[in-house]
Amino acid sequence: MLKGIPKILSPELLKVLCEMGHGDRLVIADGNFPAQSVGRDAVVIRMDGHGACEVLEGILRLFPLDTYVEQPVHLMGLVPGDKAETPIWDVYKKIIGEADDRGAAAVGQLERFAFYEEAGKAYAVIATGERALYANIMLQKGVVL
């Protein structure tokens, strides 16, 4: 056992976070995201019993966001005409603000298919059981100073 590691982070996930280098991307996917197909070239970690916010919060305790890019965090943008509500985005921005001085300015959006394309290049995809719509979030790793 180790001290100071958020309990939600499994040994498998800790290993993956450690293996990742500067600029590598990590996707925290909601329950509707096609994690296995989009992540076919990535490490896919199943965390079905957990929500995306608690996973994000645990990861950001250890994972630096990239300071060499303006927006190291991307959300999947709404499909035009979709009337879905996205209150989880406000929660994400609050969690990010607690981990990074840029706060909400560090967060951008990608159109749905652009998000899928970029997620397909990610080092790892975490498949959560998150039920909120448009709860997919991609993080780009920075350096530890």
| 68 carries an active-site annotation | no
Q: How far is CA 43 from CA 8, 74, 79, in A?
A: 18, 19, 27
The DSSP 8-state label assigned to residue 105 in this structure reads: G
The alpha carbon of 92 is separated from its chain's Cα centroid by a whole number of angstroms, namely: 10
The answer to whether the beta carbons of residues 75 and 26 sit under 8 Å apart is: no
The alpha carbon of 72 is separated from its chain's Cα centroid by a whole number of angstroms, namely: 10
| List 30, 48, 101, 116, catalytic entry | 116
Residue 55: strand pairing partners: none
Q: Which two tokens stand for residue 47?
A: 């965390």
| 116 carries an active-site annotation | yes
| List 66, 92, 100, 134, catalytic entry | 66
Sole residue written with tokens 């990074």: 100
| List 22, 68, 82, 90, catalytic entry | 22
| 66 carries an active-site annotation | yes
Catalytic residues: 22, 66, 116
